[in-house]
Structure 1
Amino acid sequence: MAIIASSSSSHPTSPTLSELKQLKNRIIGTPSAKHRLAKDHAMMRMLVETTMDVMAADDVRTEAAQILGSLASLGGHTADATVLAALIEEDALRCCLSALSTTITTQVKLRVALARALSGISGDLAELVGPPQWGFGTLEAQSLTGAAVQTLEWFFGSEAMDIWIPMLSGVEAGVVAGMIGNVVRTQPVRERLCAWRNAGEREKKERRGWEATRPSASSGHVLRILLELTGRKETLGNALFALAALAKDNPAVANELPLQDIVNHAKSCVGEIQLSACLCATYILRTSSSPSPAVDAILSVLMAIIVNGTTHSAKAAFILSQLLTDSPVYAQLAFDRGALRILLTTLRRLTPPCTSLPPLPPLNPPTSALFAGPEWESWLEHDLDQPKADIRLREATLLSLASISLFSNDIRRALAEDEDETQSIDSNDTSQLHSSPSSSHQSQSSLSLILAALLSPHTSLRCAACHVVRALTRSVAVIRTNFVDSGLGWIVFAAFMGWPQARPRTALGTSGSEEEDIRVVASALRAVCNAAG
């Protein structure tokens, strides 16, 4: 009997291996199929129970675990909240960990599948609770936040950690290291992981507690194991990713990590290893009170990844933004190395050309009539149809522009007055920048790129654009000329006020009618305060 994911009927018998394989093939990469399966509560319950059933065959349990892992591979779709709600309702995270605790080391495929499901589900919960790992975040479901917080609190409790941390020494080591990189978002969680001790270490501490001193970060079990995993090719990328999560805003860990070795890993030919090493090095560099020459190598790697236009480019731009944030020295160095030109060229390639705004009366806010007409509707539809990967890269590029221009008048002036310097970059660097099908040959000034993001139906782009405007408005000269003349001033103020008429909308009214996101309002407020000051 074939399994129908959308069926709401009960399933009295356990599914067969072939049925589970059919179901897995049906939902992989198909958000609508995942949504239908998530609404089938009986099937969701059976999948969870099958993973825990010690009497079931290992291959059946493995297939069920892989389906749960596939469900947890959320990608910013509208159905994500429904899928995550089903996983929370069935307590899938606790069940996967319980199933892992009853397996033995020889059940390799089952343990790896369960570990991947555990990693995916916990990562989704962490993304929901926040803070987001990359930029604006992709998951919003406020009604689920309370349950997600409780589940993660249990997951980082001693009972749960005593099960999954020792797996860093097993066949699942790479998966568990990647999970740490995805799930660890806050300082209390970092401290718990760094303080965790195995049974032998605890016994020694209890036996000689009166002599004990506070252990350093380097003596922590998790940190020691992760450093060992960087010596294995198959676990290197995930181990560096986990070390980055532990080192963020955490000098006690960052000071114990071998920066030069990590910089050397950033020169790897493998994209994932490059990104993990750059992220780890960034957090180490940011905890240091003095600039390090290692930043030059990291900047070179990040800018090369952005220029190449690969699937890793967005994350590289996000990392670049974090490296430059609140660091005048690193921002100036990046500018001297040509980062501003690379970022603007990337943004031009991705941004649909935006219609120029007519001069706006100084005392009259923009109205919906300003955005009427086929040109605006065509632009909006083009923007709505952009791939999610392009939207993420636009967001990351805008955030990097905000970070690089925040402290220097010279950099702000170069950004505000840039018309189109695409041709000034070496042809070897731009050969891939212009290969995108969405690339436009129409010249666009930097301010028109920012304006297009402010008017975009994508919330993340509006928020990132407000950060750029906030940086630009720290310059009086920019406020008096470019800021007012381009119409940016009114559009940012409209975002702060939450005026829906200050954005274009399609003939069906699918954009511009919703209430503005509070994060966009907060970012716009900072820009307005700079302009008013």
Structure 2
Amino acid sequence: MTVRPPSLKLSDLKKIKNIVIGNPSAKVQYARDEVFIRTLVQSLNNPPPSLDPQSSQDDIRVEVAHIIASLSYGSDRALTTLIHANALGALLLAISNFRPAEQPSLRAAFARALRALGVAIADIVGPALWGLRPDDSEVKGDAKQALDLLFQVDSLDIYAPLLSHPATAASIAYLIGLSVRSAPHRRAVVEWLPPAERAQASKSRRGWEKSTVATTASAGIAGIKAAGGWVVQVVAGLLRDTRDCKVRRIPQRSEWS
């Protein structure tokens, strides 16, 4: 059943995606093949050449992201394998390299995969959102390290700006809303500012600009913080302006697998 490289063709990936969606036993079976999982993770950034003239390497990356998103839920064994393969780091690296003209389908697939994996990792670390998950995962230590990585400033610099893109906004809002489980992570999100605004604030503090400009910059940043932070403001704007019911509710776990 497992497909091994170099036969990581688009048609094979689509078959695997259809097999694992909503199928925990299939996820476990694929997770046993750590070489295959690591190949999937590597393909997020370095996909094999497409053997189909009608498809591209980006098409392969999209399917790989779909598979990783599905493997993140429904099987602790599959999730453990993804954590050990550093799937979270690979997704962050790939997103950091998005080009301005990146295809919306690729942006959306990677944002969904990051959401699914990030929230699944947070479920292991806890505390559980609904108080239902046992606190005995063997991979909890590794999961905590991965979750801490997700809320480092450098990581927030990569995915938080995706809140401003229509193709990725909902996934990133869900990621942040469902994976923040501790006060330090909550504080990291609230205090985060886009790099350009942080640089402006730094210049203002060091007196590199005229006083009127510095005062204006400081006042703007103070206003953002007073409103709960940049992320909170953007998410509130999404909830206020969107007509998409998907943004207004928390999806059920069955919709993510």
Q: Is TM > 0.5 for Structure 1 vs Structure 2?
A: yes
Question: In structure 1, what is the equivalent of residue 33 of structure 2?
Answer: 40
Q: How does 1:409-448 map to 2 (within 5 A)?
A: none
**For 2:7 and 2:111, how far apart are their aligned partners in 1?**
22
**For 1:119 and 1:49, how far apart are their aligned partners in 2?**
19
Structure 1: runs of 5+ lacking an equivalent: 75-79, 241-271, 277-310, 316-387, 389-533
Change (3 A) 1:109 1:140: farther
Instruction: Give me the identity figure in percent.
Output: 32
Check the 8 A contact 1:194/1:217 in 2, yes or no.
no
Residue 138 of structure 2 aligns to a residue whose secondary structure is helix
Q: Which amino acid aligns with 2:11?
A: S
**For 2:88 and 2:119, how far apart are their aligned partners in 1?**
10
Question: In structure 1, what is the equivalent of residue 202 of structure 2?
Answer: 206
**For 1:159 and 1:28, how far apart are their aligned partners in 2?**
32
**For 1:18 and 1:89, how far apart are their aligned partners in 2?**
27
Q: CA deviation at 1:90?
A: 0.6
**For 2:128 and 2:228, how far apart are their aligned partners in 1?**
29
Q: Which amino acid aligns with 1:102?
A: N
Q: CA deviation at 1:207?
A: 1.5
Question: In structure 2, what is the equivalent of residue 176 of structure 1?
Answer: 172
Q: Report Cα offsets for 1:373-392 as digits up to 9, x if no partner.
A: xxxxxxxxxxxxxxx9xxxx
Q: Report Cα offsets for 1:368-422 as digits up to 9, x if no partner.
A: xxxxxxxxxxxxxxxxxxxx9xxxxxxxxxxxxxxxxxxxxxxxxxxxxxxxxxx
Answering whether residue 109 of structure 2 is matched by residue 113 of structure 1, we say yes
Q: CA deviation at 1:106?
A: 3.0
1:145 to 140, 147, 153: 140
Q: Which amino acid aligns with 1:58?
A: D
Question: In structure 2, what is the equivalent of residue 220 of structure 1?
Answer: 229
Answering whether residue 8 of structure 2 is matched by residue 15 of structure 1, we say yes
The alignment's TM-score, normalised by the length of structure 1, stands at 0.41
Change (3 A) 1:140 1:87: farther
Answering whether residue 94 of structure 2 is matched by residue 99 of structure 1, we say yes
Q: CA deviation at 1:107?
A: 1.5
Change (3 A) 1:40 1:103: same
The alignment's TM-score, normalised by the length of structure 2, stands at 0.82
**For 1:19 and 1:141, how far apart are their aligned partners in 2?**
35
Check the 8 A contact 1:81/1:140 in 2, yes or no.
no
**For 1:54 and 1:101, how far apart are their aligned partners in 2?**
16
Structure 2: runs of 5+ lacking an equivalent: 50-56, 207-214
Q: Which runs of 4+ in 1 moved over 2 A?
A: 103-106, 139-142, 210-217
Change (3 A) 1:103 1:188: same
Check the 8 A contact 1:52/1:99 in 2, yes or no.
yes
Larger Rg: 1
Change (3 A) 1:54 1:31: closer
Q: CA deviation at 1:85?
A: 1.1
Question: In structure 1, what is the equivalent of residue 187 of structure 2?
Answer: 191
1:166 to 145, 161, 177: 161
Answering whether residue 242 of structure 2 is matched by residue 232 of structure 1, we say yes
Aligned residues: 231
Q: CA deviation at 1:220?
A: 1.7
Q: Which amino acid aligns with 1:142?
A: S
Q: CA deviation at 1:175?
A: 0.8
